[in-house]
Amino acid sequence: MLQELIVALIVVVALLQVCRRYLPATLRQRIVYALARKGFDQERMAKLFKTQSSCGDGCGSCGSCETKTAADAPQDTKAVRRVITLHVQR
């Protein structure tokens, strides 16, 4: 019985590690928000999932819900290119 509990605890910790490392940030934020709605501490869950605690709850502190007006839009309309560096090992 004790061995099964220890194995279950190890599996839960491994799942948490995979979630916080490999899930996209938006999905981690949704998980934190869902757990906060179920009664868990949002600050603590945000630390566990390495995300901001205020995203998804509509508080307006992160600015992601705000719409940009024409005055706030950047003057330069060129697309920004991101370069992904590949390291080839031969």
Task: Please report the DSSP string for 57-88 in residue order.
Answer: TT-SSS-SSPPP-TTTS-S--PPPP-------
What integer pLDDT is reported at residue 13 of this predicted model? 92
Spatial contact of 53 and 43, defined as CB atoms under 8 Å apart: yes
* 60 pLDDT higher than 70: no
Higher pLDDT pick, 49 / 67: 49
What integer pLDDT is reported at residue 44 of this predicted model? 86
Question: pLDDT tens for residues 1-52?
Answer: 999 999 999 999 999 888 888 888 888 888 888 888 988 888 888 888 878 7
Q: Please report, for the chain, the start and end positions of each structural domain, with discontinuous segments joined by +.
A: 2-48
pTM, to two decimals: 0.47
3-state secondary structure string, 6-53?
HHHHHHHHHHHHHHHHHCCHHHHHHHHHHHHHCCCCHHHHHHHCCCCC
* 80 pLDDT higher than 80: no
Spatial contact of 28 and 50, defined as CB atoms under 8 Å apart: yes
What integer pLDDT is reported at residue 55 of this predicted model? 46
